[in-house]
Amino acid sequence: MRKHTILLLLIILSAVFLRFYQIDTNPKSMYGDSLTLVYDAYSILKTGHDQKGNFLPLVFSLGGGRPGGYIYATIPFVAFFGPTALAARMVSVLSGLGIIILLYLLGKKFFSKSAGLAIAAVAAVNPWELSLSRGPFETHFALFLTTLGFYSFLKGLKNKYWLLGAALSFGLATQTYSTYRLTVPLFTGLLLIWGMYSQGFTLRSYLKKPAFLVFVAVISIFTILSVYLTVSRGKEDRFDIINIFKDPTLRSTISQKVKAEMTLDSLSPSVSHTLHNPRIELAGVLAENYAGNFLPHFLFLHGDGQVRHNPAEMGEFFWIDAFLLIAGVIFLYQSNKKLLMLLIGWILIAPIPTSLVGGPHALRSSLLLPPMLILTGLGFWKIWSIRGKPINLLNPAIFTILATLFFIQFTYFVDRFYFVAPQKNTKAWSYPAKEAAQLALENRRKFDFVILSNDIDNMEFAYPVYAKLDPNLVIKQNQSPAKIGEFKFFKYDNVYIGSLPNTRVMQFIKDLPGSVLYVGAEKEQKYLENYRMINGFDDQPDLIITEKAAIKDSNSQ
């Protein structure tokens, strides 16, 4: 077996181990988006309808207008594993492995097999790529599809049949994660321009090739579909809720700032009104959000601060990657300026959606990953290839220092990522809801009523998943909830999920005609009597439990 094949297998096996190690138990549970995602896939599998009763929808309402690509891709794994964390994460895990292989192929295509190996090796251990691989993140599947589309487009420059695969990959990416509805059309436009610049194509030559016309037509259809689905949902669409143009807090802050500065400004009112304008302030926020994606704080020091997709709470790249990235840019500037311009254009497009809804974000900015990994991998390749040459006596020393720094930071990353974060971040992954669901399943035959409080984060989504409830029951309750007195509940046999006014909880429990197990959130403590607490891995309260007239378990007599 050839040396390069052995190295490629080692890289892939390492990537598999890092992504599959404890994948079903780390993270220890599923948070809201993953719960609704996996149960929608389960419901589609069993009934053809999502859990709201919609038949084969293109967008899913419980995800705030979530595109359906990841959910439909998850169905085969749900069929095999059930509505479990493993099933929810499989598409993302496999996407990570697919991205590594595609980056190897891209490095090989542009340079050499050894360059492809270097890029794949960097991607295999990259903190950002690893973090995305181990959660059910739709953006990761969209990133795989986009990278596949890019590779297929490059192949399509020589073989027209690959262009159809590129168009389908790009189109499906727009139906997988919301931000890709904007970036994919921009990226495909960049590719067409780059093709004219680097391959000598002209607009006329494009128009004369049916394959390119089909490519553009398919992308256009998916883009129009994305726009229609976004506009048709109106205020129900997640983008309409979170974008900075609609953020009431931001608008209020800007308004107050503008008024205060205009009051203090000694220039004429007309000049002051021009200089102190809400539109200018909003443009500043956009610029700040955009630029934040390229700052060391996000890339190399602290990441985006979101422990679900940055569990190690480190930068999205290792420190030494900054040096490798610069080396890769310098190498490309000297050897392939056309490719460098493409990668820079790719990098500049990627953060546009993020800037519209907030600061740097590992999910919304994920399209940054492939070009950054390619540049970093190329830097690693060049340093590796000259490490032993006598042209510069410092090269071996530099390589040794970089390798040592990487080993130290990688060790620190592995400890935080695999052994600290699972216990530290349980609440971010709605672990109390999993505990409450398990308590209900263990005790539902011992009580007449088991009440799970919706004050427990994502409780209404967690119980159907962990109980593997019949989707028909869930659809029925979503469309017509049960009632006890004046209060609405989701009712599954004798398990009730809902919210009660805090001051009325105890009286409600006392008035129920039978034995009751009430499982609530820690913050309900001052409203309950005769309760006990359940602590999490951090020894802080996760749940509060109170019982009324428990029925003895006959098996224990």
What DSSP line would sit under 249-275, residue for residue?
HHHHHHHHHHHHHHHH--S-HHHHHHH
Q: How far is CA 482 from CA 91, 331, 478, 505, 517, in A?
A: 35, 66, 10, 18, 18
What distance in Å separates the CA atoms of residue 150 and residue 343, rounded to the nearest whole number? 12
Q: What is the mean pLDDT of residues 383-396?
A: 60
**Quick one: pLDDT band at residue 95, thresholds 50, 70, 90?**
very high
pLDDT at 356: 84
What distance in Å separates the CA atoms of residue 160 and residue 228, rounded to the nearest whole number? 30
**Quick one: pLDDT band at residue 485, thresholds 50, 70, 90?**
confident
Is the pLDDT reported for residue 388 higher than 80?
no
What is the Cα 330 distance to its own chain's centre? 31
The DSSP element (H or E) to which 482 belongs, if any, is strand 482-484
Q: What is the mean pLDDT of residues 4-12?
A: 92
pLDDT at 172: 95
pLDDT at 235: 53
Query: One-letter amino acid identity for 156?
Result: G
Percent of the chain scoring above 90 in pLDDT: 64
Q: What is the mean pLDDT of residues 225-251?
A: 66
Three-state secondary structure call for residue 200: coil
What distance in Å separates the CA atoms of residue 349 and residue 184, rounded to the nearest whole number? 9
pLDDT at 530: 87
Three-state secondary structure call for residue 517: strand
Burial label, 203 (beta-carbon count in 10 A; 0-12, 13-18, 19+): exposed
The DSSP element (H or E) to which 489 belongs, if any, is strand 487-492
Residue 2: DSSP 8-state: -
pLDDT at 389: 57
**Quick one: pLDDT band at residue 431, thresholds 50, 70, 90?**
very high
pLDDT at 555: 43
**Quick one: pLDDT band at residue 234, thresholds 50, 70, 90?**
low
| 76: Cβ contacts below 8 Å, ≥ 6 apart | none
| 85: Cβ contacts below 8 Å, ≥ 6 apart | 24, 25, 27, 29, 30, 34, 38
Three-state secondary structure call for residue 420: helix
Location of structure tokens 């909003």:
282
pLDDT at 272: 67
What is the Cα 220 distance to its own chain's centre? 25
Q: What is the mean pLDDT of residues 182-186?
A: 93
| 503: Cβ contacts below 8 Å, ≥ 6 apart | 527
Q: What is the mean pLDDT of residues 353-365?
A: 88
pLDDT at 557: 35
What distance in Å separates the CA atoms of residue 555 and residue 549, rounded to the nearest whole number? 18
**Quick one: pLDDT band at residue 29, thresholds 50, 70, 90?**
very high
**Quick one: pLDDT band at residue 8, thresholds 50, 70, 90?**
very high
Is the pLDDT reported for residue 271 higher than 80?
no
Q: What is the mean pLDDT of residues 174-186?
A: 92
Q: Which has more pLDDT, 298 or 231?
A: 298
Per the prediction, the chain carries an average pLDDT of 88
Bridge pairing between strands 531-535 and 541-548: antiparallel
Is the pLDDT reported for residue 58 higher than 70?
yes
Contact 451, 460 (CB under 8 A): no
Residue 55: DSSP 8-state: B
